[in-house]
């Protein structure tokens, strides 16, 4: 399983406007939605040695002009991804589980269009995948 294929599969299920990695552009308009997909790691092995489940972690970094705005887009991300199964050729993927989120916090950089700091929240997901 390649991280790129997993990332593209998860991105296809995310709300419109979501990107992989850093939000592009010089001062793009809010809200910002970006995904980070970690490389799959071995999670569990069956006693019979017949299968290995990889654990894949996905983090959505979300930014808006206020706590209310960032909580709204966090909810949209959870609704869009939680329970959905990524599709990756040669693998059976389990459903994305919402495994936690950060409290909204003010980021250090100032968003120049509104002349204030943006509010950020991280939402975490995980799923397992088995090669077939």
Q: What is the pLDDT of residues 91-102, one digit of tens each?
A: 889 999 999 999
- On the question of pLDDT at 1 being above 60, the answer is no
CA distance 106 to 120: 6
How many C-beta atoms surround the C-beta of residue 87 within 10 A? 13
- On the question of pLDDT at 26 being above 60, the answer is yes
Provide the percentage of residues in the chain whose pLDDT is more than 90: 55
Determine contact, residues 9/88, Cβ cutoff 8 Å.
yes
Residue 32 or 49, more confident: 32
Question: Which pTM does this prediction carry?
Answer: 0.85
**Domain positions in the chain:** 3-20+30-131
- On the question of pLDDT at 29 being above 90, the answer is no
Fold classification of 3-20+30-131 is STM4215-like (3.30.2000)
Classify residue 23 by burial, with Cβ atoms within 10 Å: 0-12, 13-18, 19+.
middle
Give the DSSP letter of residue 80: H
- On the question of pLDDT at 49 being above 60, the answer is no
CA distance 125 to 83: 10
Q: Give the model's pLDDT for residue 25.
A: 79
Whether omega before 31 lies within 30 degrees of 0, making that bond cis, reads yes
């Amino acid at each position: 399983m390649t991280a790129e294929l997993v990332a593209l599969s998860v991105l296809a299920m995310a709300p419109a406007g979501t990107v992989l990695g850093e939000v592009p552009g010089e001062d793009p308009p809010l809200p910002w939605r970006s995904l980070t997909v970690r490389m799959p790691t071995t999670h569990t092995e069956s006693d019979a040695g017949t299968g290995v489940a990889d654990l894949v972690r996905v983090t959505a970094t979300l930014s808006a002009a206020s706590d209310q705005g960032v909580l709204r887009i966090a909810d949209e991300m959870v609704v869009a991804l939680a329970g959905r199964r990524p599709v990756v050729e040669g693998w059976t993927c389990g459903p994305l589980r919402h495994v936690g989120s950060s409290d909204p916090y003010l980021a250090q950089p100032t968003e120049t269009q509104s002349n204030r700091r943006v509010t950020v929240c991280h939402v975490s997901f995980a799923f397992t995948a088995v090669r077939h």
